[in-house]
Amino acid sequence: MSDTTALDRFLEDAGPRALVMARIATSDPDEAMDIVQDAMYNLVERYADRPEAEWSPLFFRILQSRIRDWYRRQKVRNRWRTWLGGAGDEADPIQELPDRRGDTPETHLTQSEQGRAIQAALATLPLRQQQVFMLRAWEGLDVAQTAAAMGCGEGSVKTHYFRALRALRKRLGEVWP
């Protein structure tokens, strides 16, 4: 391990943001915490010796990979539950999760309401759009870093980002006109 103090600082800084991302993706605080914890362990175990500048894209790549893995498992489980329980058609598990925030964008919002509004709006996006928006707009990764973090091409990042922006503008236009 090269520089534990620097890595500690990095994780202290990135951890809460990673947790918010995972919470938005899963709508489950416990699952989100497990995912972030897993990403932390992976970064420390596998990439602690890498240059500090690489930690952010690496950490968020691990995080996004864990989120996608969780999402895939949920999808599989839903498919089997549907089959075993005889329920209706397969549905997107993210879209199926209850929106615990229960609010819609309004003109005069407090800061915490803005937070809830963006959280709720992001939760309605398809997972890839959600991921790309948070990595680009919040984490500040460039297109190439985002592509690396998401395990997809740069063209795909641009497409998802554009679609995310369009969807968010539609939903949050009154919050940030």
Partner 1 sequence: MIPDEHNERRLVEGAGAALERLAEGLEPGTRARLDRARAEALAGRPRPLRPAAPKPTPWLLPLGGMATAAVVILAVALWPQPGPTPAGPALIEDVELLADAEGMAFYEELEFFLWLEETGGAG
Is 159 among the residues that bind partner 1 (CB under 8 A)? no
Identity of the residue, 115 or 151, whose beta carbon is nearer to partner 1 in the bound complex: 115
Cα–Cα distance measured from residue 20 to residue 123, given in angstroms and rounded to the nearest whole number: 11
Residue 135's nearest CA partner among 126, 40, 144 is 144
CB of 73 to partner 1, least distance (A): 6
Q: Which stretch binds partner 1 (CB under 8 A): 54-62, 100-108, 124-132, 166-174?
A: 166-174
Cα–Cα distance measured from residue 115 to residue 117, given in angstroms and rounded to the nearest whole number: 5
Q: Which two tokens stand for residue 133?
A: 């928006």
Pattern of binders to partner 1 over 90-129, x per CB under 8 A?
Answer: x--------------------xx-xx-xxx----------
Residue 166's nearest CA partner among 102, 121, 123, 135 is 121
Is 176 among the residues that bind partner 1 (CB under 8 A)? yes
Cα 3 to the chain's mean position, in Å? 27
- Tally the residues of the chain: 177
Residue 126's nearest CA partner among 88, 91, 79, 76 is 91
Cα–Cα distance measured from residue 142 to residue 70, given in angstroms and rounded to the nearest whole number: 25
Pattern of binders to partner 1 over 12-51, x per CB under 8 A?
Answer: x--xxx-xx--------x---xx-xxx-xx-xxx------
Identity of the residue, 60 or 133, whose beta carbon is nearer to partner 1 in the bound complex: 133
CB of 96 to partner 1, least distance (A): 11
CB of 40 to partner 1, least distance (A): 4
Identity of the residue, 1 or 53, whose beta carbon is nearer to partner 1 in the bound complex: 1
Question: 27 CB contacts (<8 Å, ≥6 apart)?
Answer: 94, 97, 98, 99, 100, 123
Which residues are near partner 1 by CB under 8 A? 4, 7-8, 11-12, 15-17, 19-20, 29, 33-34, 36-38, 40-41, 43-45, 72-73, 76-77, 79-81, 83-87, 89-90, 111-112, 114-115, 117-119, 133-134, 137-138, 165-166, 168-169, 172, 175-177
